Structure 1
Amino acid sequence: MSKLVLFDLDNTLLAGDSDYEWGQFLIARGIVDRDLYETKNEQFYQQYKAGTLDIHEFLDFQLRPLALHSRAQLNAWHADFMHDKIKPMMTTAARNLVTQALADADMVAIITATNSFVTAPIAQAFGIPHLIATEPEQINGEFTGKVAGIPSFREGKITRLNDWLAAHNKQLKDFNESWFYSDSLNDLPLLELVSHPVAVDADPTLAAYANKLGWPSISLRN
């Protein structure tokens, strides 16, 4: 019996959205202009929740601040971000689910639309060995503000998953069980692909879809 377990990150394993909170962190520190950035950050977040987000427009906005500061400075800010924003969003229930998956499954990964600069330390904090995320372009270790390759978003998650599996000489069909935990309607393409989709604190669209198809629904908010 071989088993693959995939976790969405924002509003699934985390009781909040790391992408959105990174923007709020930059605002609070005075790193970006509050009036401009706060309005756009909220606008994109609402579009994401509604399933209408233009991922490339969003990434142009979201990755730009990474290009304006050194990697060393960004890493220092991220350490504070982890302590102040992320650790409080890592619930006991989420940690327990991850521990169970790591014990039971052959491969475990986070698969997220949020960029790997923001999410790699979070995956590490959960103890999850693999991360499939949107990749910011880098030159000589510094960010350019552009995206590299296909964003890990909607159908792009399937492409990125298949590429990741291929790099490990695997295909999805090689697993007797494939599990994917997500909160979002944006993840319906991948949820429909795996053998065991699970709705986690689901948005209204996904909750209705899961109820109709008899998918299990759980909460990690305790």
Structure 2
Amino acid sequence: MTSTPSVPRKRLALFDLDHTLLPLDSDYEWGEFTIRIGWTDREEFGRRNKAFYEDYLAGRLDVHDYVRFATEAVRLRGADAAAQAHAQFMREVIAPAIHGEALALLQKHRDAGDEVLIITATNEFITRPIAQALGVEQLLALELERDADGWITGDIRGEPTMREGKVRRMQAWLAARGLSWGDVDSTFYSDSMNDVPLLEKVNHPVATNPDPRLRALAQERGWPILDLFASQQQ
């Protein structure tokens, strides 16, 4: 009796974005950028932006309130002005923060034949151009509701890509391709305790530039720790 050769599992390399592939938080930095270009008030917006960011780090962010707040300036100015501002944001803030270490890590997985995805809690308006700049086609980001004219309303469409939501969005992505978790060999890179649900779900969790709590958890569980931007901090 001959055995049927097993089919190799599809290999996936999943990446958080902020503080993982980038040494900054693109959502927070976009808010700071809108202050610099005069779209938002430095004192009031800056105070609220900082408070929301602290809530995110603490794992208590009300994402619906935050997205309404964070997209208001964009909504009010319309698509053309928003696109021009985002292009400036990419030149001035994001491009200098794209380091060779991140690009090399992405390329390493491509060379190994892995399918590469970015899965991020930051909204699609901010992150899609960043994913393109990193050469990553597959992006699972927080999706924004659109009105009849196709412009964002400030509401979230579907499942937010946060905490357990990242697991559910990945499950939906797999199901749309006729796959389940058992059909893939998955690696996930993240810096944040918010991503523990997905780190626990994949085959190969990698704590990347981890915050102190995630670093301690990774050490406790024996997860690899990657300080991707260590050379930038020396």
- Which has the greater radius of gyration? 2
Once the two structures are TM-superposed, the CA of residue 57 in structure 1 deviates from its matched residue by: 2.1
Q: CA RMSD in A?
A: 1.1
Asked if structure 2 preserves the Cα contact closer than 8 Å seen for 1:6 and 1:108, the reply is: yes
Asked if structure 2 preserves the Cα contact closer than 8 Å seen for 1:44 and 1:53, the reply is: yes
Instruction: Look up the match of 1:19.
Output: 27
User: Which of 149, 155, 162 in structure 2 is aligned with 1:146?
Assistant: 155
Stretches of 4+ aligned residues off by more than 4 angstroms: none
> Which consecutive residues of structure 1, in runs of 5 or more, have no partner in the other structure?
none
Asked if structure 2 preserves the Cα contact closer than 8 Å seen for 1:115 and 1:134, the reply is: yes
Count of residue pairs brought into register by the alignment: 221
SS for the counterpart of 1:52 is: coil
More contact order relative to length (CA 8 Å, sep ≥ 6) = 1
1:68-127 C-alpha deviation (Å, 9 max, x unpaired) = 121111111000000100111111111100111122244210000000010000110111
Q: TM-score, length-normalised on structure 2? A: 0.91
Letter in 2 for 1:163: A
Asked if structure 2 preserves the Cα contact closer than 8 Å seen for 1:178 and 1:195, the reply is: yes
Instruction: Look up the match of 1:184.
Output: 192
Deviates more, 1:18-27 or 1:87-96: 87-96
SS for the counterpart of 1:68 is: helix
Once the two structures are TM-superposed, the CA of residue 147 in structure 1 deviates from its matched residue by: 1.1
Asked if structure 2 preserves the Cα contact closer than 8 Å seen for 1:91 and 1:220, the reply is: no
Alpha-carbon distance in 2 for matches of 1:105, 1:112: 22
Once the two structures are TM-superposed, the CA of residue 34 in structure 1 deviates from its matched residue by: 1.4
Asked if structure 2 preserves the Cα contact closer than 8 Å seen for 1:65 and 1:145, the reply is: no
The percentage of aligned residue pairs carrying the same residue is 46
SS for the counterpart of 1:49 is: helix
User: Which of 111, 116, 140 in structure 2 is aligned with 1:108?
Assistant: 116
Letter in 1 for 2:79: R
> Which consecutive residues of structure 2, in runs of 5 or more, have no partner in the other structure?
1-7
List aligned pairs for 1:125-204, cutoff 5 A. Answer: 125-139=133-147, 140-175=149-184, 177-204=185-212
Letter in 2 for 1:44: F
Once the two structures are TM-superposed, the CA of residue 35 in structure 1 deviates from its matched residue by: 1.3
1:109-165 C-alpha deviation (Å, 9 max, x unpaired) = 000000001000011011111000001111222111111111110011111111112
Once the two structures are TM-superposed, the CA of residue 196 in structure 1 deviates from its matched residue by: 0.2
